[in-house]
Amino acid sequence: MASQWMKKFSRLAVKCILRFVQLCTHALLWIFYHGSGEQMPPIKDLLLLDTATALALKIRSQKVTSVQVMEVFISRIKEINPILNCVVDERFEAALEEAKEVDKLIQSGTKTSAEIEKETPFLGVPFSTKDCLQVKGLCHTAGLYCRKDVRAAGDAAAIAAMRKAGAIPLALTNVSEVCMWWESNNTVHGRTSNPYNTHHIVGGSSGGEACLQAAAGSAFGIGSDIGGSIRMPAFFNGIFGHKPSKGIVSNHGQYPEPVGEQDSFLGIGPMCRFATDLVPVLRIISGKKADLLNLDEKVDVRKLKFYYMEHDGGSHLVSPVDGEIKDALRKVVTYLDKAYGIKAQKICLGKLRLSTAIWMAKMKVKGSPPFSEQLANCKGAVNVYLELLKWFLCISKHTFIGLATAITEDFGVEYGSDKHVYLLDQCRQLADELQDILGTDGVFLYPTHPTPAPYHNEPLVKPFNFSYTAIVNVLGLPATHCPLGLTRDGLPVGIQVIGSLNKDRHTLAVAVELEKAFGGWVPPSIKV
């Protein structure tokens, strides 16, 4: 009995110490960063406020030209990038030439508008993606300095699919080092800042992409997500982001490459300002596997069953869920009741407290290179302690968090150990429990992240806050982040909607419903 009390006391002590450190750090950063930072230039052209599908319709019906659309987005990127540093490479000239060819094709009349819509539904529409997905001719660094001169020889599968659908790649966006941290900062391209407050982070690793979307610099984007890398940035930047069911979208052309079972955790998906663009983009990048999702099947939100949790049950390694995020979730529950008489059921999944530990255990797979090797582009391994010394001397080509990750990796659960086996079993049990609850017509409302976008560097004292998204990856389920307005401080908040395997259409339908009810994306404050 005494030993149990000691364990409880030690856990409480650790939680209190961590919370104290986090509060002190937040206070210091508030003093240092107080204010809203540099604000965004105004959106001058209404084409920037169109959905991607609306732009495609206007182009093929000759309401506007593809060149006009391309020039508008290029101009917007040139305005915002000096402030945000979200775009790290571009193909403006090539994109304009391709847009001219699109306009010639449409003006020739060789194909009807209906034929164009069927064969190339996004003809002439510009899009962007992150610097870990191959875009032929653009840099392919994944934020790793030793890859700074690497150029993509071809397109990633998802990018090739979008090209085939007529969309035109325009820009490449910033990521975290090796795409394994939730602030987009690296020694190749630097740090990206949040358009709602430039003192705050954009998330990672698809942080530059979410930032560009939020600032209306691209019609839509493609991101990737192995622990929340689509949904966290979407949350911090107030846009929609979808992590598909496992195995639906090809990961070919992604760096770093997932190993073994990690391939089922990694999901490539759409990042959009408008919920209506999620399904059309997902349908294209899913290829033949889109049939598994039945995306054309109409979803009646009134017939779905809703479940929710306001927090993970109290993990002592994770920040408490912010009150304004809880309020946003409760507003959704209230809306469902008042609008449709849907009584969302509050549930308790105790194993969610183990989300961080489960994700880390599942990421341990045979053949996966240690992080010290990934920092060396899998050509040998870096001496992390020497690099850490160099970092303190400001001469290292790696980020502090990259080196810290390599050092702490050795202290994690050992592959095949009793603890590893236990955590894998907990994951299986959690998956079964959640599947039993959701069935074939249920969705689960859950915080995407416990706090609004932190200040730059603040994630260093909140390293495990990614657990709210990470657990969904190892469960293999679809999840859509939905923006729900801004906090009193002007930062985005929202929730993620999680569905049963291959029931992506349910979470996407809920996203459209919540956009109608709560307004979706809110443009960042502008210069006055």
Answer yes or no: is pLDDT of 70 > 80: yes
From 116, 128, 115, 108, select the one nearest 59 (Cα to Cα). Answer: 116
Helices (H), 34-156: 52-60, 66-84, 92-108, 113-119
Contact 400, 394 (CB under 8 A): no
Name the range with the highest mean pLDDT among 19-23, 97-101, 364-368, 409-413: 97-101
With cut-offs at 50, 70 and 90, classify the pLDDT of residue 15.
low
With cut-offs at 50, 70 and 90, classify the pLDDT of residue 313.
very high
Answer yes or no: is pLDDT of 268 > 90: yes
Question: pTM for the complete prediction?
Answer: 0.96
For helices 355-363 and 467-475, the axis angle rounded to 10 degrees is 50
What are the tokens at 405?
């990750």
* DSSP notation for 7-67: HHHHHHHHHHHHHHHHHHHHHHHHHHH-S--SPBPP---GGGGS-HHHHHHHHHTTSS-HH
The whole-angstrom separation of Cα 488 and Cα 507 is 27
From 233, 212, 211, 215, select the one nearest 224 (Cα to Cα). Answer: 233
Q: Give the mean pLDDT of 263-277.
A: 98
With cut-offs at 50, 70 and 90, classify the pLDDT of residue 4.
low
Q: Give the mean pLDDT of 223-235.
A: 98
476 backbone dihedrals φ, ψ, rounded to 5°: 80, 15
pLDDT in tens, 330-381: 999 999 999 999 999 999 999 999 999 999 999 999 989 999 999 999 999 9
Q: Domains in the chain, please, with CATH?
A: 12-364+413-518 (3.90.1300.10)
Answer yes or no: is pLDDT of 1 > 60: no
SS3 of 173-187 = ECCCHHHCCCCCEEC
Q: Give the mean pLDDT of 448-454.
A: 98
Beta pairing, strands 305-308 & 442-447:
parallel
Residue 1 burial (CB count, 10 A): 5
Q: What is the dihedral of CA 318, 319, 324, 330, to 10 degrees?
A: 30
Give the mean pLDDT of the chain: 95
Q: Which residues of 416-446 are buried (b: 16+ CB within 10 A; e: fewer)?
A: eeeebeebbebbeebbeebeeebeeebbbbb
Q: What pLDDT was estimated at residue 34?
A: 72
Answer yes or no: is pLDDT of 21 > 90: no
Q: What pLDDT was estimated at residue 409?
A: 86
Contact 269, 220 (CB under 8 A): no
Q: What pLDDT was estimated at residue 14?
A: 56
With cut-offs at 50, 70 and 90, classify the pLDDT of residue 26.
confident
The whole-angstrom separation of Cα 299 and Cα 507 is 10
354 backbone dihedrals φ, ψ, rounded to 5°: -95, 15
Residues 6+ apart with CB under 8 A from 292: 245, 248, 286, 502
What are the tokens at 340?
């449709």
Report how far apart, in Å, the C-alpha atoms of 36 and of each of 174, 191, 217, 381 are: 22, 17, 20, 41
What are the tokens at 145?
């300095």
From 79, 15, 72, 24, select the one nearest 48 (Cα to Cα). Answer: 72
Catalytic residues: 130, 205, 229
Contact 499, 479 (CB under 8 A): yes
User: Angle at CA 397, nearest 5°, toward 394 and 402?
Assistant: 100
Q: What pLDDT was estimated at residue 305?
A: 98
Q: What pLDDT was estimated at residue 6?
A: 56
Answer yes or no: is pLDDT of 261 > 70: yes
The whole-angstrom separation of Cα 56 and Cα 52 is 6
Helices (H), 238-277: 262-265
pLDDT in tens, 127-178: 999 999 999 999 999 999 999 999 999 999 999 999 999 999 999 999 999 9
